[in-house]
């Protein structure tokens, strides 16, 4: 029986749900979902008090030397899950973790680390929504690597992280791969000196110098401008201006995190020209990061959590929020837990034109849709359309309206031929597509959470989706005429 089940599995999901009881206490439910013989099946739930898993306020935990020790999964659950997967699943088959929104402090659990160590398998996070893969250029990929760390932190961690990120881009299989490097001014020379030549003609590296015209104040004015809000965007403005209207696909941030209440963000050096010369840091929150990614047309985000990260929980909270609000894949790699080859394998998995096997590492926190992961070879009698998609809909969709809204998202586009043939997707098209995807995702989540109902708002939702497609059509038409 076990062998039959092995041959018929599609994906195995650990569904995790936080529930509030009438007493005011909270409990966490763990339930395995799988699909033997193509039949959606749920295992029995294991339930634990939430306080037995999340043992401290994240702001308190983040100041400790071991923040993750305050957020631990039950040992008996891990052992039972490992035993079941070893008996019923093929070697190397990944486990997908589905956190049902809202999940509160569970966002601070290092799922990839704890489950990865217990199971010895790839761990992938399943977003709490249904969405196709974001549209991307088929032949080329542009990756921004943005690295900033104020003084008082170890520079060699930063330099090593940049080198590892650039090395990882070497491993992407595309017709053209370009890495755009933005680092603190004092760091640039050291990084350039350490880099080898590009490994093949299709790969190129471009370094950018800080542009004074986008920096709002002079160095000697910084001490008087601690509260100047324009300083928050000097790094992001520098990147946008330097790219000169070029769209990108991926942005990889190598920065320290910060935590404000339960939301996370990034810390940049106060001024790109200063970099490690300044101890002052500028926080950038999730909303600013999201807007920046949309304006660049980026469909994927990567974070490196440095070994001396001042706020690992803050960076994890930011990564989780980005993953749950943007349709594209998100990855956070923990420096010291991932080797050079591991990050390269993760880049190949997420960004190569073909779809390899998901990487296995307790230091890789990856959110993506199941369509990105290749179906195992033993699924010879089923297709992705009849398994991965159907299973995911049954696993994720909470009501018929959410599934209906998800189905409104078109798999075709007015500029699909451009994405398939062009080496560079124009910024106006890429940014419009990212904006449209987020609108579509927002309305699906409203349906999921039953904020909108099928009785009263069907026509409104349909009108919104029609308007989004008209926007796509208008931008495509203007772009063809050279109007934007």
At residue 2's C-alpha, the angle toward residues 370 and 91, to 5°, is 50
Q: Check if the beta carbon of residue 33 is closer than 8 Å to that of residue 15.
A: yes
User: Beta partners for 309?
Assistant: none
- Rounded average pLDDT over 79-94: 91
pLDDT, greater one: 475 or 142: 142
Specify the range with the lowest mean pLDDT, choosing from 35-44, 183-192, 241-250, 319-328.
183-192
89-103, 186-200, 213-227, range with greatest mean pLDDT:
89-103
User: Which residue has tokens 């179906």?
Assistant: 375
Confidence band of 213 (pLDDT split at 50, 70, 90): low
* DSSP-assigned states of every residue in 162-173: HHHHHHHHHT--
254: nearest Cα among 191, 326, 323 = 191
User: 289-308 in b/e burial notation, b at 16+ Cβ within 10 A?
Assistant: bbebbbbbbbbbbbbbbbbb
First to last CA, the chain: 61
Phi-psi sector, 275: left (phi>0), alpha (psi -120 to 50), beta: left
* DSSP-assigned states of every residue in 251-299: EEEEEEEEEETTEEEEEEES-TTTGGG---EEEEEHHHHHHHHHHHT--
Return the HEC string of 137-158: CCCEEEEEEEEECCCCCCHHHH
- The per-residue pLDDT of the chain, averaged, comes to 80
Cα R_g (the chain), whole angstroms: 22
> Which CATH fold would you assign to the domain 140-353?
Rossmann fold (3.40.50)
Residue 185 is predicted with a pLDDT of: 63
Residue 356 is predicted with a pLDDT of: 66
Residue 483 is predicted with a pLDDT of: 57
As to burial, measured by CB atoms within 10 angstroms (0-12 exposed, 13-18 middle, 19+ buried), residue 221 is: exposed
DSSP code of residue 338: B
pLDDT, greater one: 189 or 99: 99
DSSP code of residue 205: E
> Which CATH fold would you assign to the domain 2-126?
Nucleotidyltransferase; domain 5 (3.30.420)
138-142, 350-354, 479-483, range with greatest mean pLDDT:
138-142
Instruction: Tell me the per-residue pLDDT of 44-60, one tens digit each, with 9 for 90 and over.
Output: 899 999 999 999 999 89
- Rounded average pLDDT over 136-151: 84
Report CA 408 to chain centroid distance, whole Å: 24
Confidence band of 444 (pLDDT split at 50, 70, 90): confident
Instruction: Tell me the per-residue pLDDT of 343-402, one tens digit each, with 9 for 90 and over.
Output: 989 999 999 877 668 899 999 999 998 877 745 433 334 444 444 445 555 556 777 778
The two three-digit tokens of residue 451, written as one number: 């904020």
Residue 21 is predicted with a pLDDT of: 92
Domain residue extents for the chain: 2-126, 140-353, 398-480
pLDDT-above-90 percentage for the chain = 36
User: Which residue has tokens 């989004």?
Assistant: 468
Alpha-carbon span 110 to 317, nearest angstrom:
11
Residue 209 is predicted with a pLDDT of: 76
254, pLDDT greater than 90? yes
Using DSSP's 3-state secondary structure scheme, residue 126 falls into strand
Query: Diameter of the chain by CA atoms?
Result: 73
Q: Check if the beta carbon of residue 255 is closer than 8 Å to that of residue 148.
A: yes
At residue 318's C-alpha, the angle toward residues 169 and 338, to 5°, is 40
pLDDT, greater one: 66 or 414: 66
- Rounded average pLDDT over 423-436: 87
């Amino acid at each position: 029986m076990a062998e039959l089940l092995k041959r018929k599995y599609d994906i195995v999901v650990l569904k995790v749900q936080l529930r509030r009881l009438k007493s005011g206490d909270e409990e966490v439910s763990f339930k395995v979902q799988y699909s033997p013989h193509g039949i959606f099946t749920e295992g029995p739930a294991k339930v634990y008090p939430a306080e037995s898993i999340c043992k401290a306020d994240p702001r308190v935990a983040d100041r400790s030397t071991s923040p993750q020790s305050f957020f631990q999964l039950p040992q008996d659950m891990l052992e039972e899950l490992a035993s079941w997967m070893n008996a019923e699943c093929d070697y190397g088959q990944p486990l997908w973790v589905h956190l049902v929104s809202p999940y509160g402090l569970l966002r601070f659990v290092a799922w990839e680390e704890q489950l990865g160590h217990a199971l010895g398998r790839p761990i992938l996070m399943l977003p709490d929504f249904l969405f196709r893969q974001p549209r991307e250029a088929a032949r080329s990929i542009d990756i921004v690597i943005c690295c900033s760390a104020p003084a008082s932190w170890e520079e060699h961690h930063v330099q090593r992280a940049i080198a590892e990120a650039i090395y990882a881009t070497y491993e992407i299989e595309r017709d053209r791969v370009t890495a755009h490097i933005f680092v603190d001014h004092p760091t640039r020379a050291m990084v350039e000196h350490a880099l080898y030549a590009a490994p093949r003609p299709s790969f190129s590296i471009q370094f950018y110098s800080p542009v004074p015209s986008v920096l709002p104040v002079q160095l000697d004015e910084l001490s008087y401008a601690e509260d100047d809000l324009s300083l928050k965007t000097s790094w992001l403005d520098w990147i946008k201006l330097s790219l000169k209207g070029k769209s990108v696909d991926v942005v990889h941030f190598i920065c320290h995190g910060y935590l404000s209440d339960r939301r996370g963000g990034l810390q940049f050096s106060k001024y790109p020209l200063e970099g490690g010369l300044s101890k002052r840091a500028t926080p950038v929150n999730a909303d600013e990061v999201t807007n920046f990614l949309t304006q660049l047309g980026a469909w994927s985000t990567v974070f490196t959590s440095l070994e001396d990260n001042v706020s690992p929980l803050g960076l994890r909270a930011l990564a989780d929020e980005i993953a749950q609000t943007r349709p594209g894949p998100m990855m956070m790699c923990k420096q010291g837990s991932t080797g050079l080859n591991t990050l390269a394998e993760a880049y190949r998995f997420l960004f190569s034109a073909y779809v390899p096997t998901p990487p296995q590492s307790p230091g890789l926190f990856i959110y993506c849709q199941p369509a990105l992961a290749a179906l195992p070879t033993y699924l010879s009698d089923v297709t992705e359309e009849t398994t991965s998609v159907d299973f995911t809909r049954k696993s994720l969709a909470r009501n018929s309206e959410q599934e209906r809204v998800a189905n409104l998202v078109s798999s075709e586009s007015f500029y699909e031929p451009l994405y398939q043939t062009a080496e560079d997707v124009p910024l106006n098209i890429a940014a419009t597509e990212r904006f449209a995807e987020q609108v579509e995702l927002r309305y699906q989540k409203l349906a999921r959470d039953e904020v909108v109902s099928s009785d009263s708002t069907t026509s409104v939702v349909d009108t919104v989706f029609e308007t989004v497609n008209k926007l796509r059509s208008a931008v495509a038409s203007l772009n063809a005429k050279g109007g934007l």
